[in-house]
Structure 1
Amino acid sequence: MRPLGCIGLLIGLLGIFALMLIAQDWRGAGPTNRALTVQVPRGASLARAATELQKAGAIDSALRFRAYARIFGDGAPIKAGEYDIPASASQSKVLDLLQSGKVRQRFVIVPEGLPSVLVQEALLRSDGLTGAVDVPREGSVLPDSYAYERGDTRVSVVLRMQKAMRDYLAAAWKKRKPGIAVTTPEQAIVLASIVEKETGKPGERRMVAAVYGNRLRQGMPLQADPTVIYPQTKGRALGRRILRSELDAKNGYNTYAEAGLPAGPIANPGKASIDAVLDPAQSPALYFVANGTGGHVFANTLDQHNANVQKWYAIRRARGEM
């Protein structure tokens, strides 16, 4: 073989070997042995993203990453957001991730019956959200888990929570049963918030809703303890027994002192409590009292109720609570 032919063959082999090394570098394990989080700013170019990846330790060289992306990538744009980079992720996998837009999901969880002052606190504690937020209007937030991305504003999350409530209430109201005690969606939320706070077991929601609906129709006071507490704490735990002065107070919320619904919701009710108010159990019950197991026993008459109360007192005495 001629010398020039040998040299050409050698160069060719070296080129193939170099390409193999480059491909291995592109698809091989990355430099980090732990998972990382990298933020790609809105409007960032591939060069900016590569710089952020190198700073975080997800890649060794921003310059090399960009060159490889041009050689092996499909040219699809990267997407802004916060990304979880797995340990040892290859540069190829990192580029695929940034192009996919599969950003890290964070969540604000609003349990059923959470008052709005605690919704605000949950938002303020949520890492990655920005900006201030006022206490949402009571009863305006639908309890659920809400995903957000780093950099989202707290106000934007509240607006999503409130839209979810409006949408659910509108759909549920259209399916309401005829003859229910509430006449507007707003009243439904008020009563649902009471049902939410008074229900010990999920299976009792429709019965509790029936009792309060029956009382409303007969003009009886609802006599719901959580409504007495609400003006004092805005939904936080009272931490003590209700005072006689609080039971006698007329403040628009005390359903012992005044008949009818309170002035507004006392919490953010969940879907099940809203549904219970719009489709209560078919029952003439007017009373309920705790039964010692986390639930309640229901009664149609005052005599039945008084007997149930005495049973509850006996349970409490046996427990040393009285």
Structure 2
Amino acid sequence: MWRHIVSNFLTVLIVLLVAVGGLVAWAQKQYEEPGPLARAVCLKVEPGASFARVSEELRAQGAISSAYIFRAGADYAKKSGDLKFGSYLIEPEATMQGIVEQITSGGPSTCGTELNYRIGVTGQQLILRELDPATGDYVEQAKFDPKTETPPEGFAEAAGKADVRLRVTVAEGATSWQIVEALKSADFLQGEIKTVPAEGSLAPESYEMKRGSDRNALIAEMEKRQAAIIAAAWEGRASGLPYSTPEEALVMASLVEKETGITEERTRVASVFVNRIEQGMKLQTDPAVIYGVTKGQGVLGRGLRQSELRRETPYNTYVVAGLPPTPICNPGRAAIEAALHPDSTPYLFFVADGSGGHVFSETLEEHNRNVAKWRALEKAAPADSTNN
């Protein structure tokens, strides 16, 4: 009898163990396999939030099938105590294992609200926008110039939240003085910038920031990136260029940057300057003359005067032959590549075509005709605008 009881007990125990093993295997499969999420969602983890609360939020958003399995997996991986606050973009079919790794590793928020401080050539803007996880597009919430405009209602509260992503974006063609002056107005940064970096030494790119980051550390990162860009481009440069150092190439890139913002024109503009140097012609580029007038400190805001075009300064390329002594702005990667890989063309001249681009020519006679067309368009523009 006892033998029979023991036998039955062992049988039940084995069945239970098999069932438990199967349950564990099923739970592990649920934890590691692609999840049920069909469209990306933004998970906001508030400071002080518990893992239990986050797991329920994920289940409510349809990102996981079981809050219990999610918590059990995190406990087993010893990550349930590592929850980091922030906003996380949860991709479609994300695994529970991947989500746990994502929300416990921390780092910059990947969705939610972003505050982008954009430093341009003519000014700066604070842009507050929200990521739509379903489309991956940012929806603009507010935009204004912090130096000249009052923040819209509710801006301070929205921009001050702990999980807001902070970004500084520098436009191609901004001068070092303009960048430094704009950074002084970024109240989410700290630290005094005592000297303006060398012209051309700052990379016009987008920089992820943290609230309270040091301005000088950001400047150092800009310099580091620009140095790496010019070094790599110089290493792979075309042969036969009329400049012998990376510094001269950077000067050329700055001229190209200020002459055109159209991508496909940059290598053509560079070819004109190269051709003129090789033929002993003066570069005759207005942006360089303007830099000699403003020293890069702001926008001229008017046309050049004849006296300025005749005055001999190191940057007056109508009077002085060759390249200016320094860059006239901070050129972007594309302009640097164009300066070091110019097109092979016969062009010696170019002028605006009235549509935002330029028309190129080989001879002075052809160029003069193009200039006459451009001046006619300039004269007609005010009349056209009054008729609209």
| TM-score (norm: length of structure 1) | 0.70
**Structure 2 counterpart of 1:180:** 241
**Structure 1 counterpart of 2:364:** 302
| Matched AA of 2:378 | R
Change in Cα spacing, 1:284 to 1:97, as seen in structure 2 (3 Å) is: closer
**Cα contact 1:108–1:122 (8 A) shared by 2:** no
Q: Which of 94, 114, 131 is equivalent to 2:174?
A: 114
**1:171-220 Cα distance to aligned partner (Å, 9 max, x none):** 11111111122211100110110100001422111110000111111221
| TM-score (norm: length of structure 2) | 0.59
Change in Cα spacing, 1:151 to 1:319, as seen in structure 2 (3 Å) is: closer
Offset of 1:319 from its aligned partner? 2.3
Change in Cα spacing, 1:240 to 1:117, as seen in structure 2 (3 Å) is: same
Alignment pair present for 1:142 and 2:203:
yes
Q: Write the distance in 2 (CA, Å) between the matches of 1:319 and 1:252.
A: 34
**Structure 1 counterpart of 2:335:** 273
Q: Which of 114, 123, 134 is equivalent to 2:183?
A: 123
Q: Write the distance in 2 (CA, Å) between the matches of 1:200 and 1:142.
A: 16
Q: Write the distance in 2 (CA, Å) between the matches of 1:251 and 1:314.
A: 31
**Structure 1 counterpart of 2:295:** 234
Offset of 1:291 from its aligned partner? 0.9
**Sequence identity of aligned pairs in percent?**
45
| Matched AA of 1:299 | S
Q: Tell which has more relative contact order, 1 or 2 (C-alpha 8 A, sep 6+).
A: 1
Structure 2 runs not aligned, ≥5 long: 1-43, 50-73, 90-99, 110-164, 384-388
Q: Write the distance in 1 (CA, Å) between the matches of 2:267 and 2:314.
A: 25
Q: 3-state DSSP class of the match of 2:359?
A: strand
- Pairing of 1:70-89 with structure 2 (within 5 A): 74=78, 83=86
Change in Cα spacing, 1:128 to 1:314, as seen in structure 2 (3 Å) is: closer
Q: Write the distance in 1 (CA, Å) between the matches of 2:219 and 2:356.
A: 32
Q: Write the distance in 1 (CA, Å) between the matches of 2:170 and 2:313.
A: 28
Q: 3-state DSSP class of the match of 1:319?
A: helix
Structure 1 runs not aligned, ≥5 long: 1-34, 39-49, 54-71, 87-94
Q: Write the distance in 1 (CA, Å) between the matches of 2:276 and 2:83.
A: 56
**Structure 2 counterpart of 1:101:** 106
Alignment pair present for 1:263 and 2:325:
yes
**1:142-186 Cα distance to aligned partner (Å, 9 max, x none):** 111011212321111111111111111111111111112221110
**Structure 1 counterpart of 2:285:** 224
Change in Cα spacing, 1:317 to 1:75, as seen in structure 2 (3 Å) is: closer
**Cα contact 2:202–2:330 (8 A) shared by 1:** yes
Q: Write the distance in 2 (CA, Å) between the matches of 1:77 and 1:130.
A: 32
Q: Write the distance in 2 (CA, Å) between the matches of 1:76 and 1:262.
A: 60
Q: 3-state DSSP class of the match of 1:316?
A: helix
Superposition RMSD in Å: 2.9
**1:14-71 Cα distance to aligned partner (Å, 9 max, x none):** xxxxxxxxxxxxxxxxxxxxx7976xxxxxxxxxxx6xx8xxxxxxxxxxxxxxxxxx
**Structure 2 counterpart of 1:64:** none
Q: 3-state DSSP class of the match of 1:147?
A: strand
Q: Write the distance in 2 (CA, Å) between the matches of 1:79 and 1:36.
A: 8
| Matched AA of 2:307 | S
**Cα contact 1:108–1:126 (8 A) shared by 2:** no
- Pairing of 1:274-289 with structure 2 (within 5 A): 274-289=336-351
Alignment pair present for 1:291 and 2:296:
no
**Structure 2 counterpart of 1:189:** 250
Q: Which of 182, 185, 192 is equivalent to 1:132?
A: 192
